[in-house]
Structure 1
Amino acid sequence: MKEKPVTLSIWSESRRPRIHPTPVEEVPKGTDGQGLVGDFSNPRTDTHRSVFQQDYDRLLFSTPVRRLADKTQVWPMEENDGVRTRLTHSHEVSNLARSIGARAYKGAREAFRQHGCGDDSLAEMINPLLLSIGLGHDLGNPPFGHQGEVAIGRWFEQRKGWIFTNITEGGDLLAAPVPQEYWSEFIEFDGNPQSLRLLTRLQTHIDGLGLDLSAATLAAGLKYPVSYLNRDKDDPVIKKGGYFESEKDLVDWIRKHTGLEEGQRHPLTWIMEACDDIAYSVLDVDDVLKKGIMSPDDVLMILRKNFNTDGVVGKIQEKFKEIESRLFSPEIQRDIKVEYLRAYLIESLIEHASKTFIVNVPAIFGFESMKPLMDDSQLCNVLKSVAQQNAFSHSSVLRMEALGSAAIDGLMTVLWEAISYRKGFDNIRSKRLGARAKYVFSLISANYIEQAAKCINSSEVASGLRYRELRLLTDMVSGMTDSFAMRLWEDIKVMPDANCA
């Protein structure tokens, strides 16, 4: 059968081809728990929801999203339920993105029209796309946030003298070593490319398509649209690798349908990035206030030192005076101030992001590189500084990060033993040779092992056995929640090393 020509569109609804397309009459109606309704092989069958609304539902009901409830935003394993986890952070980024998207669309309607948007595009395409990429942007983050990424990278850095090239430390050379130019995917491990892998490979699917998201949703979620080989640390858009070699075929497919090229960012990605910046400024400070480390008046004092009172700072100051004039108890007064402070600051930053997007529409829709939308916001930068000094550098955060780093390092060591200490070197499913290796290997996700066992990528590097072993290791560790990682490490670290069959 002759393949249909591909219509290029940054709003492409295309999904990857299924190995065994499901006949329409056999497709179950209703929902299967991932928001899948109608004919899964034909995105247009469900007339009630757009393809992008389906994508959002698939994400919302997925296991990786639920796991974010036990992953660190700033405060690892925080007991105060009012303090944000990575899940609440992601929902807030998603909501902020929808707000900015509406303003950006209305302020640059003609540019959107020229790039394929119709009258119903805001509700049918733009809003659900932004909700999806906001919700999914941190799914690949390992336990303990950025410190978890550092811990994973450090483990590989300490073993780079043999892990990529030799069967064992001091052992024979591998028949298919990992080329040195790909070592950085592990030594500089990052959650962004892991998110793409998680969404497209690691979730169970009858045809191995992960959550089976559309090309446009995957493209918009690609924050850094280059491979590790094409990074440029002086360019904010491509300063990091956005995908691993193991997903190069997927990125090629995305580009085949969207027309985006290496280094070209989807227009909506700029909005998602801005919302992440807003969350890392206002909402991380909000958590500092929630924990009682600072008061809202402390934040106002810092803002007054950096800004005049003509704008948002003056509005906050006047509102605080009004609150103080009421006969509230100090505790209630403080809570009300926190709420207004958050609301005024978010509104100001949303306005900045929206206006900056509209001003830069020619560059954004021309797929040119430029500064992130919030880089010129002094308010955002001051708030990030407050969060850095009072949250990320807080002793309780640093203590848990240290404990988490030690746990990740230890877990990677025993997981590597479980992956590599086996009877048949060429068969990743081969019998484990030690008692601890057998136990730990039994804990690894069956779907992760399935991905590691088969050569599904045309790339010679990604099909190599050692590369796939190392991917399995990072898949397992990055998929853990904070609590699971700590419990598992407490369980395993008391076990002796396996040294006999």
Structure 2
Amino acid sequence: MNWEQLLSLKRSGDTNKRLRKEQDETRLGFEVDYDRIIFSSAFRSLQDKTQVIPLSKTDFVHTRLTHSLEVSVVGRSLGRLTGKKILEKHPHLSTIHGYQMNDFGAIVAAAALAHDIGNPPFGHSGEKAIGEYFLNGNGKRFQSQLSDKEYQDLVKFEGNANGFKILTEDRPGTPGGLRISYATLGAFMKYPKESLPHKPTKNIADKKFGFFQSEKETMLDVAEELGLSKTGNQNDISFSRHPLAFLVEAADDICYTIIDFEDGINLGLIDEDYALEYLIKLVKDNISTPKYNSLQSTADRLSYLRSLAINTLIREAAEIFLANEEAILAGEFHQALFDKSKYEAQIKDIIKISVEKIYQSEEVINKEIAGYKMLETLLDTYTRAFLPDRNDLYSNFNDLVLKSVPKLKHLKAETSVYQKLIQICSYTASLTDGFTVSSFKRYQGSGL
């Protein structure tokens, strides 16, 4: 892979090549990506989607929206740090093509901003709830009408693949979706493969999948334009990661490791003194003891350590990326950047505590249980209305359901069972936590 292709400004539907040196410096193409994402309805919905605690009533716990904004800020710094060194190493990118340090920051920032845009309500448990509806629930009735890969798209429903769908799919009046540059789409895609085979290798890019069968042709077009290295065979589509996807992943890892931990402290789920001790272990090489001791409150000490930890990890992630740039470009780097971190043990300790004290807390588990039932009910309601059984071709209830979801009215024209199902899943995933609750109550007859 080479940087000239990887930094492509092409957008869906382009007939002429976009050149970096011809860009308007007041509003660069990669910055337009950021603008289109942040003004999209899909991004706005993240303000009412779970990051740590589903349906939290406290005002300081992160939502998917605040988390995404923070990941974007960290990603921008990572992109600029690495971009500066890449341009020094490959000066022709600047002198001939016109790329600048901030281009790398803008690409990573936009991709990071969108990294959770396809996540369903109730976090990762929402993904599992959708998948289990088709694996063990009433959705299993459709298996015989689907190909193996189409069925796998459903039973292993993936927020990353749904994000790629949101960013790229045609909608009435908006061909190409948000029309994001291919460089940003490449950086967005942490898992550039289809749903089968499932985890074929230990390569981190094969851990999950990044596109549904409905977006297969779009993915192939993006991969060809960017020059991504093909890793699959004739029957199975998979590629090496876009190098900047490693930076998007690192930005996400930094934020959920440090800031989810902070939320756990603020919620009282993690003892303050215990938590501060673990953060100090992470930043002990960079901490200013006099400054730390001068801080009077726990909140100020926590804020100082959080800032120091994020800065420390940003710089180390950039160093690891640059030290392995050649292997990454060759498609021979198969792990997350922080798998090579000197702070790996400290990071794992913090994540272990977060899992035990936050993600598996009674409050989270109880709300995730409720979320499972709600999503199951919604999926059953929508599939019964849009794909009725032969013995139930029409009912007044189904007719009312059809009218209640105008965003899915175009499904009547769809002939493929798979297309209908993947659109129903994508729509359900687009719902906020709060709207999922109100829809569930409405269909259960208790929403008045």
CA distance in 1, matches of 2:426, 2:180: 20
Q: 2:192 aligns with which of 210, 215, 225?
A: 225
Give the Cα separation in 1 of the matches to 2:219 and 2:282.
47
Instruction: Tell me which amino acid in the other structure corresponds to 2:305.
Output: L
Which amino acid letter does the alignment assign opposite residue 418 of structure 1?
A
Q: Which residue of 1 aligns with 2:112?
A: 134
For the structure 1 residues 227 and 316, does the alpha-carbon distance in structure 2 shift closer, same or farther, using more than 3 Å as the test?
farther
| 1:320–1:110 Cα change, 3 Å | closer
| Match among 266, 274, 281 for residue 298 of structure 1 | 274
- For 2:143, the equivalent position in structure 1 comes to 164
Matches within 5 A, 1:453-468: 453-454=413-414, 465-468=416-419
Counterpart secondary structure, 2:326? helix
Between 1:85-94 and 1:386-395, the stretch displaced more is 386-395
Q: Identify the match of residue 11 of structure 1 among 7, 11, 21.
A: 7
Structure 2 CA distance for partners of 1:309 and 1:180, relative to 1, 3 Å:
closer
- Identify which of 364, 368, 381 aligns with 2:328: 364
Distance between the aligned counterparts of 2:279 and 2:289, measured in 1? Answer: 10
Matched, 1:277 2:241: no
Quote the Cα distance in structure 2 between the aligned partners of 1:13 and 1:286: 37
Give the Å deviation of 1:42.
Answer: 11
Does 2:294 correspond to 1:322? yes
Note the 1:234-245 alignment, pairs <5 A: 234-245=202-213
Matches within 5 A, 1:410-429: 410-421=377-388
User: What is the deviation of 1:89?
Assistant: 0.4
SS in 1 for 2:276: helix
Q: Hey, what does 1:472 align to over in structure 2?
A: 423
Contact kept, 8 Å, 1:349 with 1:380, in 2: the verdict is no
**Larger gyration radius, structure 1 or structure 2:** 1
Whether the aligned pair in 1 keeps the contact of 2:43 and 2:114 (CA below 8 Å) is yes
> 1:308, 1:97 → 2: CA distance?
20
Question: Taking structure 1 as the reference length, what is the TM-score of the superposition?
Answer: 0.79
**Shift of residue 105 of structure 1?**
2.1
For 2:373, the aligned partner's letter is A
Shift of 1:437: 1.1
Partner of 2:302: 338
Asked whether the 8 Å contact 1:449–1:472 carries over to 2, the reply is no
How far apart, CA to CA, are the structure 2 residues paired with 1:309 and 1:127? 25
Residue 118 of structure 2 aligns to a residue whose secondary structure is coil
Deviation at 1:112, TM superposition (A): 5.0
- What are the within-5 Å matches in structure 2 for residues 66-465 of structure 1? 66-113=44-91, 120-123=99-102, 125-158=103-136, 159=138, 162-165=141-144, 177-201=145-169, 204=171, 206-230=173-197, 231-262=199-230, 263-302=239-278, 307=281, 311-312=285-286, 315=287, 319-324=291-296, 333-376=297-340, 377-421=344-388, 433-446=394-407, 448-450=408-410, 453-454=413-414, 465=416
Kindly provide the CA deviation profile for residues 229-269 of structure 1, in whole angstroms up to 9, marking residues without a partner as x: 24425221112111111101101111232111442211111
Amino acid at match of 1:11: L
Q: CA deviation at 1:284?
A: 0.2
Contact 2:153 2:212 in 1 (8 A): yes
* Structure 1 position 494, deviation (Å): 2.5
**d(CA) in 2 for partners of 1:422, 1:208:** 33
User: For structure 2, which runs of at least 5 residues remain unmatched after alignment?
Assistant: 231-238
Q: What do you get for the CA RMSD once the two structures are aligned? A: 2.9
User: Residues 87 and 101 of structure 2 are in contact (CA less than 8 Å); yes or no, is this contact kept in structure 1?
Assistant: no
- Whose helix proportion is higher, 1 or 2? 2
- 2:404 maps to a residue whose letter is L
SS in 2 for 1:206: coil
Distance (whole Å) between structure 1 residues aligned to residue 92 and residue 86 of structure 2 = 10
Note closer, same or farther for the CA distance 1:207–1:61 as it changes in structure 2 (3 Å cut).
closer
In structure 2, relative to structure 1, the CA distance for the partners of 1:128 and 1:72 (3 Å cut) is same
Distance of aligned partners of 1:80 and 1:65 in 2 relative to their CA distance in 1, 3 Å threshold = same
Identity of aligned residues (%): 28
Deviation at 1:303, TM superposition (A): 5.2
Cα distance in 2, alignment partners of residues 111 and 205 from structure 1: 44
- 8 Å CA contact 1:445, 1:476 repeated in 2: no
2:93 touches 2:99 (CA, 8 Å); kept in 1? no
Q: Can you give the 5+ residue segments of structure 1 that lack an aligned partner in the other structure? A: 1-6, 22-38, 166-176, 325-332, 426-431, 455-463, 496-501
- Partner of 2:236 in structure 1? none
Give the deviation of 1:367 after TM superposition: 2.8
Question: Compared with structure 1, are the counterparts of its residues 408 and 309 closer, same or farther at alpha carbon in structure 2 (3 Å cutoff)?
Answer: closer
Q: Which residue of 2 aligns with 1:170?
A: none
In the alignment of these two chains, the number of paired residues is 428
Quote the Cα distance in structure 1 between the aligned partners of 2:116 and 2:183.
Answer: 18
Q: Is 1:142–1:477's contact at 8 Å kept on the other side of the alignment?
A: yes
Cα distance change, pair 438–316 in 1 and its aligned pair in 2 (3 A): farther
Per the alignment, residue 499 of structure 1 pairs with: none
Take 1:467 and 1:392, find their aligned partners in 2: how far apart are those partners? 33
TM-score (norm 2): 0.87
- The CA distance in 1 between the partners of 2:88 and 2:4, in whole Å, is 20
1:407–1:375 CA distance, 2 compared to 1 (3 A): same
Contact residue 324 and residue 333 of structure 2 kept, 8 A: no
Shift of 1:449: 4.4
Give the match's secondary structure for 1:163.
helix
After superposition, what is the alpha-carbon deviation per residue over 1:278-324, rounded to whole angstroms, capped at 9, x for unaligned? 111001011112223334422133457xx598524xx2765443224
Q: Aligned partners of 1:485 and 1:396: how far apart in 2?
A: 18
